Amino acid sequence: MRHVNCFSSSLFFVVDRPAIAHLRAAPGRVEAGRWQPLPGAMLAPPFSSTISTPTGPSFRAGSIDALRRQASKGGIMHLARGVGFSCAGLAVAGLVSGCAARSKAVTLQPLTADMSHYKTVVISVESRVPGDVKKEKSDLEGLIVSRVKALNRFPSVQLKAGEVAATPETLLVNVGITHVKKVGGGKRFMLGAAAGRASMTTEITLVDSPTGRTLGSYTVTGESGGTGLSGGTSDAVTKTAEAVAGLLGGAAVR
């Protein structure tokens, strides 16, 4: 048996389709503008006899209010899921930002010269730690040179090659590596945040080449992040180089 769903202002009901087929006028004729049934003709059974109320938990009361309540509940659940996803996203963002790579500088001797006076910067990097840090030293040299050049403050930026003659308007940047903690990609993958941060600590001395006078000295430490996004030794080296360039550029070290 097929059914047709019908709505009124407050009632939801089902009408049997075979019953609808009988809801037509009895045989007759039009007289004076009105339909007049023939004598003895019978009308279809009363319409009310075809009404039935569907069963089921969603329409037990058979009212439109039930449908509205269900739709309202669905909207609330959708909103709750959206809020949940938003909170989760904020939590992840907070976690990642809290584990970002960073650097810090400690001033040992405040800078006493105007950096704009210098036209040439010569950078010297040496290791003062046991163990093999050749790769880290080489990476640090290249990164410091590239970061200082990016300042566009000094016409010439170069690595030290042998002894440097006392040349006017030349600044010597001596970088001594005093500590290195390596954290490789494999260790980070296996242990995650438990592997800790990779780090590099250096002592920076700025020297006026013509006079040999120390203009300023600092301790600079670069640290990697605590997650896979920035969690390796190379990130610690990069942050160290950025901090050294920041000292020459006069920018705050972050």
pLDDT digits (tens, 9 = 90+) for 2-20: 444 444 444 444 444 444 4
Over residues 102-109, mean pLDDT: 90
Percentage of the residues of the chain whose pLDDT score is greater than 90 = 39
pTM, entire model: 0.58
Over residues 63-73, mean pLDDT: 58
Are 177 and 127 contacting, i.e. CB atoms less than 8 angstroms apart? yes
Q: Which residues contact 183 (CB under 8 A, 6 or more apart)?
A: 195, 196, 197, 198, 224, 231, 232, 233
pLDDT of residue 129: 96
pLDDT-derived band of residue 42, with 50, 70 and 90 as boundaries?
A: low
What are the Cα distances from residue 161, in Å, to 124, 125, 169? 8, 11, 18
pLDDT-derived band of residue 189, with 50, 70 and 90 as boundaries?
A: very low
Over residues 121-146, mean pLDDT: 96
- Written as six digits, the tokens of 64 are 């439109």
Q: Which domains does the chain have, with CATH numbers?
A: 3-54 (no CATH), 101-249 (3.40.50)
Indicate the residue type of 189.
F
Q: Which residues contact 245 (CB under 8 A, 6 or more apart)?
A: 144, 147, 148, 150, 151
Higher pLDDT, 169 or 58: 169
pLDDT digits (tens, 9 = 90+) for 195-204: 567 899 999 9
The secondary structure of 57-100, three-state, reads HHHCCCCHHHHHHHHHHHHHHHHHHHHHHHHHHHHHHHHHHHCC
Q: Are strands 34-37 and 28-31 parallel, antiparallel or unpaired?
A: antiparallel
Tell whether the model's pLDDT for residue 229 goes beyond 60.
Answer: no
pLDDT-derived band of residue 205, with 50, 70 and 90 as boundaries?
A: very high
pLDDT digits (tens, 9 = 90+) for 142-155: 999 999 999 999 99
What is the SS3 assignment for 194?
helix
- Written as six digits, the tokens of 27 are 């045989």
H or E, element range at 247:
helix 233-249
Tell whether the model's pLDDT for residue 124 goes beyond 90.
Answer: yes
